Amino acid sequence: MTIKEIYELSKKQDKSIEGKEVTIKGLVRGNRFMGNVGFILLNDGSCFSSLQIVYSSTDKKAQAIRMGCSISVKGKIHLTPEAKQIVELESMKIDLISDVEEDYVLQKQRMSFEYLREIPQWRVRTNTFNALFRIRSTLSYYIHEYFHKNGYLWIHTPIITGNDCEGEGQVFDVLASGDKVGESKYFNSPNPHLTVSGQLHVEPFALAYQKVYTFGPTFRAEKSNTTRHAAEFWMIEPEIAFADLDTLCKIEEEFLKYVVKNTIQDCEDDINVFASFIDKNLKTKLNDFLTKSFEFVEYSDCINLLKKAQKEGVKFENNDIDFGLDLNSEHEKYLTEVVFKKPIFLRNMPKDIKAFYMKLNDDNKTVQAVDLLTPGIGELCGGSVREDNYDLLLKRIKELKMPLESYKWYLDLRKNGSMPHAGFGLGFERLVMLVTGIDNIRDTQPYPRNYRNMLF
């Protein structure tokens, strides 16, 4: 029986567990003794709450057990609804599995996130990160559940590729022994690198199955140290045949609300940690996210709103606001937190700031693209209708001077049984930031990788 199961039965005041003998194994979160009684807080990772172990203070071995030790406890469950904790375990036998050293890195005092980033192998034992990675796991579960329930197939796209989906060249080259950059003998390919997106490789599957998605690691070699960027992160990328921009936005909103709603219901105790210590307004923000309809806003209208704000005295670091601006986080923050006060779908952006595969609008200046901007996070999702016209896609690839041979296979999809399709990409860690209120992406990852920083 796990501690989570014990608490669930205790909350129901299930009398069948009173006096039940169980053995619980886990890590010690604290140990104190008062008079004739000692108390150990034991956590087995199944939930945020620890189980109070009651032992006789004459048990010198139990008294010597320190925070961080792993132990096994055999005892009897007692319901204690009148006490601060609703259940406790009366110890019959405590066995020390592994002790901790005198200089054990985790101590009772509060430690900064900056310090804990230097010891990622230990921070999962702290309250905040123990809660965070349970939330991360639960979000993953409901992501898969949503797609499974709605008829999507999960496609495993390659991690090593010869195509740069975004066309920006910020990639990590993959070299075998004896290889040179731009000349891979192992793969017989000019430029194998770690993927920046699974989108190009999943599109052929959308044309066959109509509804598919990827969920896996992606890599960007951006020399950036912002709180929202990482060199390695996970991406969710659905691709849907016969979808237009309105349909895509509807799917994004439905998907996100499903995942967030179910996660905060399942992880109530974990969410409380972040609402208490990270962001006092977190529950209000999450409720707004779930209950308010996302706003549809044209890119050109947003530019006009930002210009109007400038005239009214609002100061932006980037004041060069005009058509063609790739919005900075300060602009996204103003639009979502000051103007609309909720998530917005920013639609129909200039083609010159967007990727080559996005469908051109009739004005020949904008593409059928959409960015979902949210308060506190900024861009959460980016998506588009894909260009399914062979000639227009070929023209765009040539305009951007992309290596035509590398994209021939992708172009050929537009000539043989093609169909309209659309999709979006969601940076998973940004979703974790939204749900927890954590403001640095490095604190949402088990082992963060970013510019000039990689431990282990």
CB under 8 Å to 448, separation ≥6 — which residues?
117, 120, 230, 441, 442
Residue 207 near residue 410, CB atoms below 8 Å: no
Q: In which domain, by residue range, is 57 found?
A: 3-104
CB under 8 Å to 169, separation ≥6 — which residues?
none
Residues 392 and 418 in one domain: yes
Residue 220: give its domain's CATH number.
Answer: 3.30.930.10
- Nearest of 135, 150, 250, 198 to residue 427 by alpha carbon: 198
Residues 342 and 447 in one domain: yes
Quote the distance between the C-alpha of residue 249 and its chain's center: 19
Q: Is residue 32 part of a domain?
A: yes
What tokens were used for 130? 């123990």
CB count within 10 Å of CB 433 equals: 22
Q: Is residue 300 part of a domain?
A: yes
Residue 378 near residue 227, CB atoms below 8 Å: no
Residue 28: give its domain's CATH number.
Answer: 2.40.50.140
Q: Is residue 112 part of a domain?
A: no
- The domain total for the chain is 2
Q: Is residue 259 part of a domain?
A: yes
Amino acid at 217: P
Number of H helices, E strands in the chain: 14, 17
Alpha carbon distance 378, 344 (integer Å): 10
Residues 130 and 257 in one domain: yes
Residues 150 and 59 in one domain: no
Residues 78 and 207 in one domain: no
Residue 198 near residue 205, CB atoms below 8 Å: no
- Residue 231: phi, psi to the nearest 5? -75, -25
Domain boundary among 71, 104, 137: 104
pLDDT in tens, the chain (456 residues): 999 999 999 999 999 999 999 999 999 999 998 888 999 999 999 999 999 999 998 899 999 999 999 999 999 999 999 888 999 999 999 999 999 998 899 987 889 999 999 999 999 999 999 999 999 999 999 999 999 999 999 999 999 998 888 766 689 999 898 888 778 888 887 789 999 999 999 999 999 999 999 999 999 998 888 888 899 999 999 999 999 999 999 999 999 999 999 999 999 999 999 999 999 999 999 999 999 999 999 999 999 999 999 999 999 999 999 999 999 999 999 999 999 999 999 999 999 999 999 999 999 999 999 999 999 999 999 999 999 999 999 999 999 999 898 899 999 999 999 999 999 999 999 999 999 999 999 999 999 999 988 988
Q: Is residue 228 part of a domain?
A: yes
Residues 93 and 127 in one domain: no
What's the Cα-to-Cα distance from 171 to each of 148, 218, 223, 229, 405, rounded to whole Å? 31, 10, 11, 14, 19
Q: What is the DSSP letter of 324?
A: T
Q: What angle do CA 304, 305, 311 make, to 5 degrees?
A: 90
Q: Is residue 109 part of a domain?
A: no
Residues 77 and 125 in one domain: no
Residues 396 and 298 in one domain: yes
Sequential DSSP letters for 200-226? HHHHHHHHHHSEEEEEEEEE-------
Task: State the pTM of this model.
Answer: 0.95
Residues 331 and 418 in one domain: yes
pLDDT of residue 411: 96
